[in-house]
Structures are given as C-alpha cells and as structure tokens.
Amino acid sequence: VTVLDWLVLVFTIVGIAAYGTWQTRNSSAAGYLRGESLRWPTIGLSIMATQASAITFLSVPGQAYDDGMRFIQMYFGLPLATILVSVFFVPIYHRLKVFTAYEYLERRFDVRVRVLAATLFLIGRGLAAGITIYAPAILLSSVLGWSLYTLNAVLGGVVIVYTVTGGAAAVAQTQKQQMAVILAGLAVAGVIIAAKLPDGVGVVDAARLAGAAGRMNVVDFSFDPNSRYTFWSGITGGLFLQLSYFGTDQSQVQRYLGGASTRESRLGLLFNGILKIPMQFSILFIGLLVFVFYLFEKPPVFFDQATLQRVEASEHRGELQALQAGWDEAFLERKARAQALVDADSDVNRAALRTADARVSELRGEARALVERAVPGASTKDGDFIFVSFVLAELPSGIVGLLLAVILLASMSSTASELSSLGATSALDLYKRLVHPTATDRHLRRAGQLLTVGWGLVALSFATFASLVDNLIQAVNILGSVFYGVILGIFLVGFTLPRVGGTATFVAALLAEAVVVTLYFRSDIGFLWFNAIGCALVIGLAVVAQLILGRRPAGGET
C-alpha cells in the first residue's frame, strides 16, 4: 500500500462522508428517519449499496475461484421479489405514510405484532451490523497488518458520524457516491485483470479455460437437494429470502419509503431487479479472471498468508515444505495443460486441464488439513482472502487504494443503512410507541440520533470482540434467515388473510420462531430454507389459531 493508495483511500472515504454529512446536516425529522422526496436513481443505488457489503467483494470472487459461478443462482429470486414488493408492499406503505415497515403491522393487527416484528428485526439486524463491520475488518487487518481495533474504530466511527448527523437522508446521499466509486472500481479491476492475462489469452479464452476447469457452472437445473445452489433453490428459497429482505427488513424498506411517490420507490426497486444479477455476475466473473490469471502465475497454496506463516513456524514446517514441492509441480502441470488448451481447444485438452486442476484442488485441500493440524482453531477457509491478496500482490499503486476503498465503502454503505434503520425502528416502533407517544419531531430526531449512536456502539463492540465466524457470507445470511421468514409470514398474513387477527398472528409468530430456532440448532436443513419454513409456519399456524379463537369479522387495513 503506497502513499498514492492512501490518498485515494482517504479521499474517497472521508470525502464522501464529509460531503454527505454537510449536505444533510439540517435534514428534517422525516428526512432523518426515512429519507424524503427521493428520486428513483438515488433509491436504486441506495438499495444496491445496502445489499452489497464488503463481504460481497471479499467472498464472492473467492467463491468463483474455488467453486465456480453457481453462487449467482442465490439471486435468481430477486427480480420477482422486487416486482412483488412493488405490487404489494410499496403501495400499502405509501398509502399509510408509514415510517417503518412494522408501523403497518399495528394498523393491520395490533401493537403487540408490531413490537414483536420490530424486536425480531432489531435483534437479527443488530447482530448482522456487527458482522458487516467485523468481517472485512478482520480480513483486512490480517492482510494489511493494520490493527483490527483501529480499523473498526475508524470505519465504524466515520459511519456513525454521518449516519447520526444526517440520518437516512445522509445515508442515501453518501450511497450514491459510494456506489459510483464501487462500480467504477469493479470496472477498472475487471479491465486490468483481463489485461494481465498472458499474451494470447483474451477474455473469451479465459471463459473457455474456466469452463474446462468446471468453473462455468452458472446454472444447474438438477433437482439434487444436496446441491446448495441450483436454479430451483434460487427461484424458491432465494425468492423468500429476497422477498423478506426487500419487503420487511427496515434496512431496505427505509431506502424506498423516502421515495417522492410510489413510482419512484418502484422504479428504484426494479432498477435492482434488472441490474443486480448482472452486477453479481461481473463480481463472480472477476473471480474467474483471477482464477485464470493464477493458471499462468503460481498462486499460494493457501491464501491466508498470516496463518500460513504460523504453519511455517510450527513443527509441521517439514510437511508444508513437502506440500509446496508437490504444489510447484502440480501448478506447472496445470499451466502446461492450460496453455495446451489455449493453443488447441479439444476434448482431450479440456479433460487434461480438468485432471490437472483436480490435482491442484486436492493439494489445496491438503493445505487446509495441514493448517487445521498445525494451527488448531485457525480458520481453514481461505477463500475470502483470494481477491484481496490478488489485489495487493498484482495490481498497480493507486488501483490498490481504489479497490481497498471499494471494499471499505461497501462495508460503510451497508453499515450505514443498518444503523440508520436500527435507530429509526427503535425510535419509532419502541420509544415513540411505548415510551413517549407525544414526542415532537425535534425530540424524535434527537432520540433517533442517540439510538443510532447506541446501535453503532453495539455493532462496534460486537465487531471488536467477536471471534472469526467460519464463513462470513453465510453467517450473515443465516442470521437473517432465522428471523426473516417469520417476519415475512406476519406481513403475508396481513396482506392476504383479512380474517386473521392480531392475537392469532402474534401466537403463530412466537411458535414459528421457536420452531425455526430449534431447527437451526437441531437439524441440518440448509439456511436458505428457514425463510420459506418460517413464513409458511406463521401463515399455517395463524390460520389454525384464528379457527381456534373463533371467527373474526373481516377488516383491517390491507
């Protein structure tokens, strides 16, 4: 990391935060709590920036490197989810002029259901906010040798300053510029990596090489329930995940509630419905380009260098050296096979590359096993280190700073949405509703600020004291899934079953949450399905509970 990198890094991070803070320093209470009069490009970018966290840029290319493109199928439910949210959720939220998604639940059911859903959101999102800061910070502190505490404090501190000062308005304002830097950084990275491929290897060759090595597995139409990412799990389980995320998670709902009209909110959502999959495809494809680059340049056998050094310093050093010798050989063999395939594309050459790559993967597996033996307790999952170590080792000065900025801005933009929505939800759904119903706008804005600071400190403490979670991206998704399905179920009962009342829904939600948490601890069901299960349980149990409680006149806000 050079002086130029530092300049780029500090300029983008501090500059954007300072500009956003300045622009929105006098935001109204409404602007503070949910944004105000936003146009669709702002909403669209804000939604995108919220969903794309640093984990996206750290984990996803690594996922493509090891596992290929199939992760993209996780997002196959997203286009339909944005449409369903536009059709069913947006008009209701706008008509009722709510500030949080959970406010609707009181109009439709009662205050208990509202407070329950808000509380589930606060717990789930409050924990996730810690991970959003922690995940990239622990990685970057290890790779760059920066202090984890300083990194946490600086990043968290900057986010807290602008989120607390300008609230949702500042979040939307900063996310526009953050997203511009992120997209530009990705484009630059893609072009430079493609240019770094050996002479005679273009992007098309790269795709062919990746395909021959089994990485071009973009869609899988098989019905194999053991395969985590298939077309079918994407459009079913993935749909529930995205629907609950965009429809009921205040960190997303807050992004489009401030739309100037239903039209602006819908267009902002549909913008993501169209662009999200191409964006994820690009990030995965960058991971594939890194993979192809390392077909010709020798990669480390294990990408987490700090842990590898600990193996070197241990009594297992000899084993590591033996492994390295085999690694050098396997790399040269695979390189020769890759070159042969570039020279002549034939089934024989493709099969030879696949065999050579299988040997390399096998040695990577052995390296992980060695790490596990030599450094007990260390994470053996080095996938999250692949992209950032590539950036640091191979990209030119200035661009390194730009890509570090991309990762840090992504972390900040997601954290900002989370903190702002946590602050607004606790201020409105809990504080105003339960403690101080007559609070003035001024008072509420101040309460929102204090609560946002509080959530910021909670997230920061979590980020500082948590120990490394095995797989970062999954940890966040799992946390969400344990609560999301139930919250979505409550909303769907509200929209579609006018005869089911608050008591039945409240009881059903509590039971369903208990079942989902039990399943989480006691079963090996994939986390993607918790959403569908939680949602279906709430709906089913609410109907049964209402039948037991007796008929209720149809009505309520739908």
Among 7, 46, 38, which Cα is nearest to 421's? 46
Q: Are 475 and 469 in contact (CB under 8 A)?
A: yes
- Cβ distance to another protein smaller for residue 334 or 432: 334
> Which residues here bind another protein, judged by CB under 8 A?
69, 72, 76, 79-80, 82-83, 86-87, 91, 207-208, 210-212, 214, 216-221, 231, 261-263, 266, 270, 273-274, 277-278, 281
Would you say 217 or 503 has its CB closer to another protein? 217
Length of the chain: 558
DSSP letter at 437? T
Instruction: Considering the complex, state which of residue 278 and residue 555 has its C-beta at the smaller distance from another protein.
Output: 278
In the complex, the smallest distance separating the C-beta of residue 337 from another protein, rounded to whole angstroms, is 16
What is the spatial distance between Cα 276 and Cα 245, in angstroms, rounded to a whole number?
Answer: 14
How far apart are the C-alpha atoms of 66 and 457, rounded to whole Å? 36
* Residues contacting residue 523 through CB under 8 Å, at least 6 positions apart: none
User: By C-beta, is 43 or 131 nearer to another protein?
Assistant: 43
- Spell out a b/e string for 397-432, using b for 16 or more CB atoms within 10 Å of the CB, else e: eebbbbbbbbbbbbbbbbbbbbbbbbbbbbbbbbbb
Residue 88 CA to residue 38 CA, distance in Å, equals: 20
Helices (DSSP H) in 297-346: which residue ranges? Answer: 305-312, 317-343
Whose CA is closest to 382, among 468, 322, 446, 464? 468
- Concatenate the DSSP letters of all residues of 104-133 into one string: HHHHHS-HHHHHHHHHHHHHHHHHHHHHHH
Q: How far is the CB of 205 from another protein (least distance, A)?
A: 11
- Shortest separation between residue 182's beta carbon and another protein, angstroms: 21
Give dist(CA 80, CA 23) in Å, integer. 35
What's the CA gap between 307 and 385, in Å, rounded?
11
Nearer CB in complex with another protein: 90/117: 90
Shortest separation between residue 69's beta carbon and another protein, angstroms: 8
Pick 159 or 206: Cβ nearer another protein: 206
Nearer to another protein, 240 or 530 (CB): 240
Using DSSP's 3-state secondary structure scheme, residue 354 falls into helix
Beta bridge partners of 38: 259
**Buried residues in 518-534 as b, exposed as e (16+ CB within 10 A):** ebeeeeeeebbbbbbbb
CB of 212 to another protein, least distance (A): 8
Q: How far is the CB of 272 from another protein (least distance, A)?
A: 10
The answer to whether residues 247 and 488 touch, using CB atoms and an 8 Å cutoff, is yes
Q: Which is nearer to another protein, 220 or 384 (CB)?
A: 220
Report the residue number, 214 or 498, with the smaller CB distance to another protein. Answer: 214
In the chain, how many H helices and how many E strands? 23, 0
Residue 208 C-beta: closest distance to another protein, Å: 6
Residue appearing with tokens 């006691």: 522
Nearest to another protein of 210, 308 (CB atom): 210
Nearer to another protein, 157 or 278 (CB): 278
Please tell me the distance from the alpha carbon of residue 205 to that of residue 336, in angstroms, as a whole number: 15
CA gap 427, 433 in Å, rounded: 8
Residue nearer to another protein on the CB measure, 70 or 114: 70
Minimum CB separation of residue 256 from another protein in Å reads 14
Give me the torsion for CA of 47, 48, 54, 57, rounded to 10°.
170
What are the respective helix, strand and coil percentages of the chain, to the nearest 5? 80, 0, 20
